[in-house]
């Protein structure tokens, strides 16, 4: 039996033409648009109802448009990074007394290390390289793309970076993580070249993780790295009209 | 007769070598995603780009989808954000 038994035969061609025209006219999956970032942005933000203080909720509401811009920069301009779900916002440091709020984000880094050379370097080097390449860039964007750090209710910034290490055969890969919290004035002085990297590291508070467990502290060095502003991903296309600085 | 036995042994050997490295978790993942395209996004990406790989176009949404659908590998064990941040 013809499945379109309820339609006159003459209409079928017309309907087929309409469907084809709709498919051709629809942007669908064949174009990148800035709307693509809306759902990922909502996923990245810490939901307002999850904050435990009025101060944090107020900060998250006030600076939401700026966090959206920061998110878009990371989402479109740094496609090798992914913001961990519900980590963009104004949390506290775990274990900290009081209600000091930090402009924070947790980021998963795609490591391009086919020959395992990076994984073979000492852990102190891996941590330092990640902070130098991605941590500093993200903190700089936090300073330049938002005004939140001039708010007296914001104590500073917090950035956590996670990357996967090669797994042994049959085992799940282990992610290494470093988290850094630093006060606003130290960060601004460091980015402005008025605070040496070693002093910046002294002032920052670090935690280190291997998989789900805390890991011993390592000596952190920070050096200049221009990867994020110079590297271009082959065949990668930005949404129409969007520019990365 | 001998040729048939050799062929059978070869086929069995290839099947063993290609499947023996997969754990039960891997097989479980594979069984629950046995279609040709992993997802609609995967299918659209394939249709949008040339089969021979010439002139590909990759959008951030493609990268995001591939991250979320990496069921063919197992997820890395990492620290939970709640061990670092307190809302």
- A203-216 pLDDT, tens digit each: 999 999 999 999 99
Beta bridge partners of A180: A159, A206
How do A205-210 and A213-214 pair as beta strands?
antiparallel
Q: Which residue stretches of chain A are H helix?
A: 9-25, 38-44, 54-62, 64-72, 123-130, 136-145, 184-191, 197-203, 227-230
- The beta-carbon neighbor of B85 closest among A82, A87, A237 is A87
pLDDT > 90? residue A34: no
Give the model's pLDDT for residue A6: 44
d(CA A76, CA A242): 8
Give the model's pLDDT for residue B62: 80
- Tokens read off for B33: 């995603």
Per-residue pLDDT tens for B6-18? 777 777 776 666 6
CA distances from A27 to A36, B45, B48, B49 (A): 12, 14, 12, 15
- Tokens read off for A88: 């963009």
Flag whether residue B83 sits within 8 Å of chain A, measured between CB atoms.
Answer: yes
Sheet holding A101-109, edge to edge: A81-83, A101-109, A154-165, A174-183, A205-210, A213-214
Flag whether residue A169 sits within 8 Å of chain B, measured between CB atoms.
Answer: yes
pLDDT > 60? residue A164: yes
Nearest by Cα to A181 from A49, A91, A113, A82: A91
Going by C-beta distance under 8 Å and a sequence separation of 6 or more, which residues neighbour residue B64?
Answer: A40, A82
Q: Which of A126-140, A194-208, A225-239, B64-78 has the lowest mean pLDDT?
A: B64-78
Give the model's pLDDT for residue A173: 86
CA distances from B3 to A123, A229, B16 (A): 55, 62, 20
Give the model's pLDDT for residue A3: 45
Side-chain half-sphere CA neighbours of A228 within 13 A: 28
- The CA-based diameter of chain A, rounded to the nearest angstrom, is 81
Q: What is the mean pLDDT of residues A5-29?
A: 53
Q: What is the DSSP string of A66-131?
A: HHHHHHHIIIII-TTEEEPTT-BB--EETT-STT-EEEEEEEEEPP--TTSTTTTS-HHHHHHHHI
Where residue B48 falls among pLDDT bands split at 50, 70, 90? low
Q: Looking at per-residue confidence, does A165 or B14 come out higher?
A: A165
Q: What is the mean pLDDT of residues A109-130?
A: 90
Flag whether residue A236 sits within 8 Å of chain B, measured between CB atoms.
Answer: yes
Give the model's pLDDT for residue A129: 95
Q: What is the mean pLDDT of residues A226-243?
A: 85
Nearest by Cα to A204 from A215, A190, A224: A190
- The beta-carbon neighbor of B78 closest among A40, A82, A211 is A211
pLDDT > 60? residue A19: no
Where residue B44 falls among pLDDT bands split at 50, 70, 90? low
Other C-beta atoms within 10 Å of A66: how many?
A: 15
**In chain B, which residues have their Cβ closer than 8 Å to the Cβ of A207?**
84
Give the model's pLDDT for residue A27: 45
CA-based nearest distance A68→chain B, Å: 16
- The beta-carbon neighbor of B59 closest among A32, A207, A209 is A32
High-pLDDT (> 90) share of chain A, %: 62
CA-based nearest distance B10→chain A, Å: 25
Q: What is the mean pLDDT of residues B62-68?
A: 75
High-pLDDT (> 70) share of chain A, %: 85
Give the model's pLDDT for residue A36: 72
Beta bridge partners of B60: none
Model confidence, pTM: 0.75
Where residue A38 falls among pLDDT bands split at 50, 70, 90? confident
Q: Which residue stretches of B1-87 are H helix?
A: 2-19, 24-32, 40-48, 60-68
Per-residue pLDDT tens for A129-153? 999 999 999 999 999 999 999 999 9
Contact A36, A112 (CB under 8 A): no
Q: Judged by CB atoms within 8 Å, which residues 120-149 of A form the interface with B?
A: none
Give the model's pLDDT for residue A33: 72
Where residue A2 falls among pLDDT bands split at 50, 70, 90? very low
Q: Work out the end-to-end distance of chain B between its first and last CA atoms, rounded to an integer number of angstroms.
A: 72
Q: What is the mean pLDDT of chain A?
A: 87
ipTM score here? 0.80
Q: Work out the end-to-end distance of chain A between its first and last CA atoms, rounded to an integer number of angstroms.
A: 60
d(CA A89, CA A67): 8
Stated length of chain B: 87
């Amino acid at each position: 039996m013809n499945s379109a038994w309820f339609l006159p035969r003459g209409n079928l061609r017309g309907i087929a033409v309409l469907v084809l025209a709709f498919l051709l006219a629809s942007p669908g999956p064949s174009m990148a648009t800035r709307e693509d970032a809306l759902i990922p942005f909502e996923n990245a933000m810490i939901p307002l109802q999850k904050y435990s203080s009025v101060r944090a909720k107020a900060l998250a509401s006030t600076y939401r448009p700026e966090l959206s811009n920061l998110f878009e920069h990371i989402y479109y301009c740094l496609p090798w990074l992914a913001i961990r779900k519900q980590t963009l916002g104004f949390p506290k440091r775990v274990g900290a007394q009081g209600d000091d709020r930090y402009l924070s984000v947790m980021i998963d880094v795609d490591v391009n290390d086919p020959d395992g050379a990076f994984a073979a370097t000492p852990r102190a080097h891996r941590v330092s390289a990640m902070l130098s390449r991605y941590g500093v860039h993200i903190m700089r964007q936090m300073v330049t793309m938002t005004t939140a750090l001039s708010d007296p209710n914001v104590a500073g910034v917090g950035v956590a970076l996670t990357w996967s290490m090669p797994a042994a055969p049959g085992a799940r890969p282990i992610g290494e993580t470093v988290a850094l919290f630093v006060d606003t004035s130290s960060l601004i002085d460091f980015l402005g070249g008025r605070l040496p990297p070693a002093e910046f590291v002294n002032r920052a508070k670090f935690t280190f993780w291997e998989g789900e467990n805390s890991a011993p502290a390592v000596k952190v060095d920070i050096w200049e790295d221009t990867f994020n502003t110079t590297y271009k991903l082959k065949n990668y296309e930005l949404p129409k009209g969007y520019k990365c600085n | 007769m001998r040729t048939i036995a050799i062929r059978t042994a070869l086929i069995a050997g290839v099947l063993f070598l290609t499947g023996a490295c997969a754990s039960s978790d891997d097989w479980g993942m594979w069984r629950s995603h046995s279609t040709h395209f992993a997802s609609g996004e995967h299918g659209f990406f394939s249709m949008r780009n040339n089969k021979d790989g010439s002139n590909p176009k990759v959008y951030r949404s493609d990268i995001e989808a591939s991250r979320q659908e990496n069921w063919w590998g197992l997820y890395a064990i990492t620290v939970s954000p709640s061990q670092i941040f307190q809302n």
